[in-house]
């Protein structure tokens, strides 16, 4: 399992297009991908399925919010890197 923390850089966070890009990449990766939002008190929300655009959007990740992504399966390193790029990209 590969796990990383990152910050949403898009002005819209993980809403609509960025969430769809994230979910599509997670789904096509062949890996199990989950993500949680880091709350103000440092606790994590329950993890959601990263391959579901609706689940990703329900986290309500806004610009500057920190998330934790977990990737399990083949090619964890490359899948993690690709998902990190999506979350950290400014333009979507």
Per-residue pLDDT of the chain (92 residues; tens, 9 = 90+): 999 999 999 999 999 999 999 999 999 999 999 999 999 999 999 999 999 999 999 999 999 999 999 999 999 999 999 999 999 998 75
92 is catalytic: no
What does the pLDDT read at residue 25?
A: 97
pTM: 0.94
**Spatial separation of the C-alpha atoms in residues 62 and 10, rounded to whole Å:** 8
15, 37, 70, 92: the active-site residue: 15
What's the gap between Cα 29 and its chain centre?
13
For domain 2-88, the CATH superfamily is: HPr-like (3.30.1340.10)
Domain boundaries, the chain: 2-88
Please tell me the number of Cα atoms within 13 Å of 43 on its side-chain side: 3
**Spatial separation of the C-alpha atoms in residues 22 and 67, rounded to whole Å:** 13
Q: How many CB atoms lie within 10 A of CB 3?
A: 12
């Amino acid at each position: 399992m590969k796990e990383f923390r990152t910050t949403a850089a898009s002005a819209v966070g993980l809403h609509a297009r960025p969430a769809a890009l994230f979910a599509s990449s997670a789904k096509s990766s062949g890996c199990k991908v989950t993500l949680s939002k880091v709350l103000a008190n440092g606790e994590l929300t329950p993890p959601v399925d990263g391959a579901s655009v609706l689940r990703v959007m329900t986290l309500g990740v806004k610009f500057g919010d920190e998330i934790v992504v977990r990737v399990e399966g083949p090619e964890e390193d490359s899948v993690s890197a690709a998902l990190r790029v999506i979350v950290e990209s400014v333009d979507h």
